[in-house]
Amino acid sequence: MIRRPPRSTHCISSAASDVYKRQQLRNSIIIHTLDVATTIYALENRDHVREGNIILGPDPEIYEVVLLKAIVLPFVHQNFESGQILIMNWAGGIAVVNNLYIINRYD
């Protein structure tokens, strides 16, 4: 009889769930990097643009924008389930689209 080594995850569905969560985490990093980049670009290059995040205030410094994401994202990635991360990714994607709309609106 051929014996296989034990799996690190005992259930196939939990292994698939882990893969799905890693994909969502990867997407989250990409989306929030785009959000930070477009936010910084809009704040630096457009006079009439204000930050909409109430934590940062209307005219944050660049380091404040980056620091907020650097603090929030690891917390979200550690404590949220894959479905919650998916919702955060949608919200981040909407923020990026909104940032691009505002950047183009003031051209």
pLDDT digit string (tens) for 2-37? 666 555 555 556 777 778 888 888 898 899 899 999
**pTM higher than 0.85, yes or no?**
no
| CA atoms 19, 25, 29, 31: torsion sign | positive
- Rounded to an integer, what distance in angstroms lies between the CA atom of residue 60 and that of residue 50? 9
Taking only the tens place, the pLDDT of each residue in 82-102 is 888 899 899 999 999 988 998
Q: Supply the pLDDT for residue 58.
A: 81
Taking only the tens place, the pLDDT of each residue in 28-70 is 889 989 999 998 888 888 887 888 878 888 888 889 889 988 8
Question: Which of 98, 30, 35, 97 shows the shortest CA–CA distance to 65?
Answer: 35
